[in-house]
Structure 1
């Protein structure tokens, strides 16, 4: 196995393990899933790596349980030219993600239900590593070590222009 393939599969298996809550005894399953992901990823461009993030965002999913905040973000993103979907919680977002491809997810951390925004972030990154994710909260401050690779954090309150500029900016290839 060449080094690039091994490194990609190793990182992907670790992401799968993290997204499932770091269970013991399932390394073989995670490694097998990562190998399958390697084999099926970016067939058109074999140079697309694990953390290759969508460079041009067109469709955004906004997830927030506060309707007024969600509506304001949706309006700002639509005014900026994005196609926007919305969900009131993580479970609703996952249902939308099953049937619709999105380029980015903008989610609040604190939401009611069985999964918060960080759980949603982990699921999105595990299923679709190229999807941009921006997490927001007015209750907690998160740093790079608190977030999955390629995920950004914006503290509330924020200016809608900040979110628009983050989504319009080219993907960070680091």
Structure 2
């Protein structure tokens, strides 16, 4: 992923963090814009059409990070959103992912980790655009018919209900269903979904699996499909039919 021409919006009310993020991103070749609160962030999104947003959750004023995330997605805008959160904000972090955020970084974080996450999100975004153009016609259907994925339309159903998944959740479920019956290690899943910069973030993967189960499993606390292999990874239980639309 080439940085040239990619626009990144940094949304954070703390000036020292703004400076550090801006410095690292400029050094990486990105065009950087900065907003200090939610209202300004939405104005900058409209004005600059960023390719990616780095979004702090806790900000002053009438709009916090969650509000910004909701409004960006409500407008139909699709830039990847990486949430910046403190360790104590676990509920907000999970809520942000459910509202359409694509990734998260827990403060404090290192510059190398930041840049790796930015590259991975931009790469996934570009890949998703390519899939929409190509209109891949495959359907993935669990053997009992409960789970249904239309890869071309990026449509998922659990039972008779359409399920709204974030791009990351969609890719994670796709990888699991494509390899149904096969145990996928943490490293394999992380690299397949997030990119080669990942591989050791097992705790990070667990957050997304938990969110995915809440959306596609009838009983998330007793999953039927997405099964944990302790210390190894995850497996999609049962067979999956792969066919053309």
Q: Does 1:140 align with 2:93?
A: no
Listed as ranges, the gaps of 5+ residues in structure 2 are 129-170, 172-245
Change (3 A) 1:130 1:146: closer
RMSD between aligned residues: 2.1
Quote the residue 1:76 is aligned against.
Answer: 24
For the 8 Å contact 1:59–1:104, the answer to whether it is kept is yes
The answer to whether the aligner puts 1:164 opposite 2:112 as a matched pair is no
2:106 corresponds, among 155, 165, 169, to: 155
CA distance in 2, matches of 1:111, 1:91: 10
1:61 aligned onto 2:9: yes
- What residue number does 1:121 align with? 69
Alignment pair present for 1:90 and 2:46:
no
* Structure with the bigger percentage of strand: 2
TM-score (norm 1): 0.62
The Cα shift of 1:129 comes to 3.9
Structure with the bigger RCO (C-alpha within 8 Å, sep 6+) is: 1
Q: TM-score, normalised by structure 2?
A: 0.45
In the alignment, is the contact (CA less than 8 A) between 1:143 and 1:153 conserved in 2?
Answer: no
**Count of residue correspondences:** 120
**Distance in 1 between residues matched to 2:99 and 2:49, nearest whole Å:** 20
Name the larger-Rg structure: 2
In 1, the alpha carbon distance for the partners of 2:117 and 2:50 equals: 16
Deviation at 1:80, TM superposition (A): 0.8
Structure 2 counterpart of 1:106? 54
- After superposition, give the CA deviation of every residue in 1:74-112 in whole Å (9 maximum; x if it has no partner): 110111111100011111111112221110110110000
Q: Secondary structure at the match of 2:62?
A: coil
CA shift for structure 1 position 146: 4.8
Name structure 1 gaps, 5 residues minimum.
Answer: 1-54
Q: CA deviation at 1:167?
A: 1.5
For 1:116 and 1:96, locate their aligned partners in 2 and report how far apart those are by CA, in whole Å: 15
Find the aligned partners of 2:96 and 2:31 in 1 and give their Cα distance. Answer: 31
| Structure-2 separation of matches of 1:136 and 1:78 | 18
